[in-house]
Amino acid sequence: MLRRSFRAMGTEIELLLDAPAGTKAEIALDRAEAEFERLEQVLSRFREDSELSQLNRAGKTTDASPDLVRVVELAFKARAATGGLFDPTVHDAVVAAGYDRTFDEVPADGPAAEAGSCGGSVHIDGAAIVLEAGTRLDLGGIGKGYAVDRVCELLAITGPCLVNAGGDLAVRGGSWPVGVSVGITLELTRGAIATSGRDRRSWRRGGDVMHHLIDPSSGRPATGELLRVTVVADTTTDAEVLAKAAFLGAEIDAPRVLVGSDGTTVLAGGLA
């Protein structure tokens, strides 16, 4: 079993590849690592020169890369499918909450935060993307899920593999025991897992605990009894969207593990 770890997309990436050690496997892992870097340069809102940052500044682009077009399409389809619970237009709300730079650089405390605006539409025509005036996109979660799916496809050419990007995880071939909570391990032989929660990326503003999971209806970090939701789905992008929707209270039809604020853990969707 080959294992490689590195940082990308603001999190720790872990690649597991079940293949004989050698040049071929090393090249596959190198390509996987390079693909994360390439997609981060497209989808990151923290890089000034990323495609997404340029789109958010200009409000439009006529030569978007296929990856940016695809992820924006996926994000807006997800918004429609979840009735707006998953919403890529929360950019300004996340920034208003204080998450205006990479998480490592976000001050632990600060003055009270205002609610941010959400909503707005996008028009996509081929390689052209036009945002409604005042709309900016945050593709953080779904972008990472997309990257995990892409990299997993790349690695699967060489052998059974697992790609884990700080909670967004996909496997191809083989069977992979994945720890999802204290004492709970899921064996995944196909598909993906994503976890959304407020237990890791949190900070304080005006004494209130803030986190990155914005409720689009309020424009503020979501409040509720759930601490963390883990969802299993066909793809990491699906799992990511469903996990966010479940965290915000949606009843989804997928295997899932819900952890409450008091530590209570519930298995649902066919898990037992």
Q: How far is the CB of 175 from other proteins (least distance, A)?
A: 8
Nearer to other proteins, 29 or 131 (CB): 29
Summarize as ranges the residues that interact with other proteins (CB under 8 A): 1, 11, 14, 16, 141, 144, 162, 164-169, 176-180, 184-201, 228, 230, 232-234, 240, 255, 267, 271-272
Nearer to other proteins, 98 or 166 (CB): 166
Q: How far is the CB of 216 from other proteins (least distance, A)?
A: 18
Q: How far is the CB of 121 from other proteins (least distance, A)?
A: 26
d(CA 68, CA 241): 17
d(CA 197, CA 189): 24
Closest CA to 144 of 65, 233, 28, 239: 239
Helix and strand numbers (H, E) in the chain are 6, 15
Q: How far is the CB of 153 from other proteins (least distance, A)?
A: 14
Nearer to other proteins, 122 or 162 (CB): 162
Nearer to other proteins, 131 or 139 (CB): 139
Q: How far is the CB of 209 from other proteins (least distance, A)?
A: 14
Q: How far is CA 115 from the centre of its chain?
A: 22
Task: Look up residue 272 and give its two tokens.
Answer: 């037992």
d(CA 212, CA 93): 9
Considering just the CA atoms, what is the radius of gyration of the chain in Å?
A: 18
Three-class SS state of 250: coil
Nearer to other proteins, 131 or 258 (CB): 258
